[in-house]
Structure 1
Amino acid sequence: MSKILVLGRTMDMGGTEVAMAALLQKLVEKKEDVTLLLVEKRGVLLERIPKEVEVRQMIWNKKPHPALERIVGKRETPAERSFYARGMGVFLMRVVYGKKRYGKLYERILECVEPETKQYDLVFDFFGFGAFTTAFGARKTNARKKAVWFHGENLWWLFRTRDFIPEYDKIYCVSEPVRKQVIARFPELADRTEVLLNFIDIKQVQRRSEEPLSDPQYTGELKFLTVGRASEEKGYDIAVQITAELKKRGLCFKWFIIGDGRDLNKLRTMAKEYQVEQEIIFLGMRENPAPYVKSCDLYLQPSRHEGYPITIVEARSLQKVIIASDIPSMREQIRDGENGYLCPLDVMQFADKIQKVLADQEGRDAVRKKLREEPIDFSAGYAQIEAFAKK
């Protein structure tokens, strides 16, 4: 049995957090002694954490400026949520420190946080994404070995944690396109960088899809669905434009989008400006999206970039016909015309693809048949973690 510390920001609904819950479940199944340390202990996915996992929140040894707490992801108090904290946080990040000295900002915050005094066999910074957890794992934990996860192809945030990543013994990338991007930035770390697919409990997804669905907003004879945070990389602004184009062509449908995020209100406003607020409906967060996925007619994913999109895995496991943007991470799962459809992220071409797929009943049936026959199994990935632990 290994003592393992897993680091995360929160357990709010999101693909990374869903994958983290699945990893925790796998570690518990393997009889590991697991602790989850969060920047802030909150989120609807806390209930998915196995009871055997000790869940704690980072402790501040002295009260920092609210702006510093906000930078690392804390939102507990009105002071941390205030306009002043947001403004000061932006000022510190962009003006005082900037991209070249961002590591120094994290070092300043590290001075305010209690170290993790226990000795662990392994420390996993699962969240990654340039978050404070990477700095904390590197400098404030004690372990025989440490690993950090990279979840996305777009590494715009890398300047935040560039100084800390070399202190990790292993860099896990959730897809081959992500691995290539990491090696391009850190060629000297290529020998410690490898692909490790996220653990996804397919049986749990299928069980959760059977739960009753009672949502008065989720109606219509032809339903499209997308699940994911309302942020730029998901391409929801393009989705609004695709919706407007399909409406202009006379198609009667509703496109539902599940997920919270910083762009949610802006996207709802955009839908009104395009006069499609009745056709594209931003539902916000739903604790269990699986029944929605199960009952949709098409699952659409117009992302600009991804890591290894878990929502695509879940839609595949429920044998849904998928149309996704033709980007490297989607090609790892979807073979165009065989087990789903890929399309350039262009308004006219995406609208054309949707209409073409809807008109081809035989093609959709063939895709569903292929998905039923196609195994989805992530169990072999744990051998990589075991090999890392034994070295």
Structure 2
Amino acid sequence: MKKKIIISMHYMEIGGAESSLIGLLEALDPSKVDIDLFVFAHHGVFMSAIPNYVNLLPEDNGYAMMEEPLAMVFKKGHPLIGMARLLAKWKMNRFYKQNPSEKDRSAGFAYIGNEVGRVLHNLYNFGEYDLAISYNYPHNIVLENVMAKKKIAWLHTDYRHISINENLEFPIWRKYDQIVSISPGVTEGFLSVFPSLKDKILECENMLPKAYIETKATQASIDKEVDVLTLCSVGRISNAKNYDNIPNMASELKELFKLHGSKIKYKDFKWVIVGPGDHSTIDALSEDLGVRDNVIFMGPSDNPYPYIKGCDIYVHPSRYEGKSIVVREAQVLCKPVIITNYPTAVSQINNGVDGVICELDNKSVAEAIYALVMDSNRQSTIINYLKTHDYTGGAEVEKIYSLIGLNDNMEK
């Protein structure tokens, strides 16, 4: 008899968690498990990537209000949810006022889940599952509103770099049977905050939908000048991504081009950045530093993969990451990758083998790009390695099967 799994996700917009969820769905074997997918709000480009053997549960009007603009929540006739979200916002602001921190303020979903979860109806009408997976925040929903013999929550973030209310989150995490961490670095960061939860950790690499990535990468072509080096970075403009320093990195790289122009096969470079967010301040800095024509923001895209496929080097200059999905996606597309030495970097790249790790400062990033450009043999070695290795992580699904007593030898 097949096992029943339900997976909860807030939406399916372009993002690392969404991409890895599609990878997990593709890795799950429909001959072994029946899969229900509960997406709070049915929007996002990855909705169309959900495999046809996955049972997409109907959108629920209440759950869909989790991230709608507040005015829209009230307009659509959900005053209780609107009031709960206002209360969550007030509590969150009070917490940060009492606990000022330079870290990213990422506690919002925990407050929303805590308050809004109280006024949402449960999902017991879907029946009892063998396994319930909360794939992203808020983790209250699966914990409190789903019937399942076993429940697990996915951990995507390095807790060393976000400001959270430990007293609010701990009671949620500790009630899960397992906490799935995407990398050793993410595990280390989480346990630095919640050391007593060590025995609940299950490390499981992100799973990526290779066929989907490769297909999307060929759906458009990017105009490229042969004698212009094309760099690419993909992601939302945020403190974590460190895009505010790209103009400085580009300025350093431009100086290297000037100093060593006769040795470089490219006459110039373009750094293409794909992702949402306000880049007006970064544009102004680029103008001041004389790299306005080099640093190019493309804005958000439903399909960033042609940009990755069309670049010469993928650069990921983050201040911190859990484990970047887009770095793996670039490796799936066999692109040389340069990442900064954030705390979880060594779990992402085998330095010099399948990518390059450089120090987290502007000059070091520029020098790493220049060094890779000048070493065509190293580029070829990295590309050839990527072509012969699997970066989809599909075998990790066995860890999920083991939680519900499944294995390769079971009768189908």
Q: Same fold (TM over 0.5)?
A: yes
Query: Which residue in the other structure is 2:327 paired with?
Result: 312
Query: Which residue in the other structure is 1:66 paired with?
Result: none
Partner secondary structure for residue 38 of structure 2: strand
Give runs of aligned pairs for residues 335-350 of structure 1, distance below 5 A. Answer: 335-350=350-365
Distance 1:205 1:287 in 2: 12
Query: Which residue in the other structure is 1:246 paired with?
Result: 253
* Range that drifts further, 28-37 or 138-147: 28-37
Report how far residue 166 of structure 1 moved.
1.0
* Range that drifts further, 97-106 or 364-373: 97-106
Q: Per the alignment, do residues 383 and 241 of structure 1 end up closer, same or farther by CA in structure 2, a change over 3 Å counting?
A: same
Distance 2:121 2:175 in 1: 19
Query: Which residue in the other structure is 2:389 paired with?
Result: 374
Report how far residue 316 of structure 1 moved.
1.5
Partner secondary structure for residue 205 of structure 1: helix
User: Residue 223 of structure 1: which of 225, 230, 245 is its match?
Assistant: 230
Partner secondary structure for residue 171 of structure 1: strand
Q: Per the alignment, do residues 106 and 273 of structure 1 end up closer, same or farther by CA in structure 2, a change over 3 Å counting?
A: same
TM-score, normalised to structure 1, is 0.85
Q: Could you tell me whether the CA contact under 8 Å between 2:208 and 2:391 is conserved in 1?
A: no
Distance 1:36 1:99 in 2: 38
Distance 1:272 1:198 in 2: 38
Q: Does residue 259 of structure 2 align to residue 260 of structure 1?
A: no
Report how far residue 198 of structure 1 moved.
1.2
Report how far residue 147 of structure 1 moved.
0.4
Distance 1:50 1:375 in 2: 21
Distance 1:23 1:205 in 2: 14
Q: Per the alignment, do residues 138 and 260 of structure 1 end up closer, same or farther by CA in structure 2, a change over 3 Å counting?
A: same
Q: Deviations over 1:201-249 (max 9, x none)?
A: 2233233333332x56x66721100112222111111222201222344
Amino acid at match of 1:73: E
Q: Does residue 32 of structure 2 align to residue 60 of structure 1?
A: no
Q: Could you tell me whether the CA contact under 8 Å between 1:317 and 1:376 is conserved in 2?
A: yes
Query: Which residue in the other structure is 1:94 paired with?
Result: 93
Query: Which residue in the other structure is 1:212 paired with?
Result: 220
User: Residue 198 of structure 1: which of 203, 206, 216 is its match?
Assistant: 206
* Range that drifts further, 164-173 or 315-324: 315-324
Query: Which residue in the other structure is 1:234 paired with?
Result: 241
Q: Deviations over 1:314-370 (max 9, x none)?
A: 222222111111234322232222222110110111111111211112222222222
User: Residue 175 of structure 1: which of 159, 172, 183 is its match?
Assistant: 183
Amino acid at match of 1:115: N
Distance 1:98 1:136 in 2: 27
* Range that drifts further, 100-109 or 18-27: 100-109
Query: Which residue in the other structure is 2:140 paired with?
Result: 135
Amino acid at match of 2:135: F
Distance 2:321 2:200 in 1: 22
TM-score, normalised to structure 2, is 0.81
* Range that drifts further, 39-48 or 243-252: 243-252
Q: Per the alignment, do residues 286 and 341 of structure 1 end up closer, same or farther by CA in structure 2, a change over 3 Å counting?
A: same
Query: Which residue in the other structure is 1:75 paired with?
Result: 69
Q: Per the alignment, do residues 274 and 87 of structure 1 end up closer, same or farther by CA in structure 2, a change over 3 Å counting?
A: farther
Give runs of aligned pairs for residues 312-331 of structure 1, distance below 5 A. Answer: 312-331=327-346
Query: Which residue in the other structure is 2:131 paired with?
Result: 122
Q: Could you tell me whether the CA contact under 8 Å between 2:19 and 2:209 is conserved in 1?
A: no
Identity of aligned residues (%): 25
Distance 2:155 2:322 in 1: 8
Partner secondary structure for residue 6 of structure 2: strand
Query: Which residue in the other structure is 1:150 paired with?
Result: 155
Q: Could you tell me whether the CA contact under 8 Å between 1:37 and 1:58 is conserved in 2?
A: no
Distance 2:40 2:98 in 1: 22
Q: Does residue 45 of structure 2 align to residue 44 of structure 1?
A: yes
Q: Could you tell me whether the CA contact under 8 Å between 1:28 and 1:50 is conserved in 2?
A: no
Q: Could you tell me whether the CA contact under 8 Å between 1:97 and 1:104 is conserved in 2?
A: no
Distance 2:363 2:96 in 1: 42
Query: Which residue in the other structure is 1:188 paired with?
Result: 196
Amino acid at match of 1:46: M
Q: Could you tell me whether the CA contact under 8 Å between 1:152 and 1:178 is conserved in 2?
A: yes
Amino acid at match of 1:166: R
Q: RMSD over aligned Cα, in angstroms?
A: 3.1
Flag structure 2 segments of 5+ consecutive residues without an equivalent: 76-81, 100-106, 259-267, 407-412
Q: Deviations over 1:133-176 (max 9, x none)?
A: x0111111111110001112235254253321111101000001
Q: Could you tell me whether the CA contact under 8 Å between 2:87 and 2:115 is conserved in 1?
A: no
Partner secondary structure for residue 188 of structure 1: helix
Report how far residue 10 of structure 1 moved.
1.1
Query: Which residue in the other structure is 2:410 paired with?
Result: none
Q: Could you tell me whether the CA contact under 8 Å between 1:183 and 1:193 is conserved in 2?
A: no
Report how far residue 90 of structure 1 moved.
4.2
Distance 2:286 2:60 in 1: 40
Distance 1:240 1:40 in 2: 36
Query: Which residue in the other structure is 2:4 paired with?
Result: 3
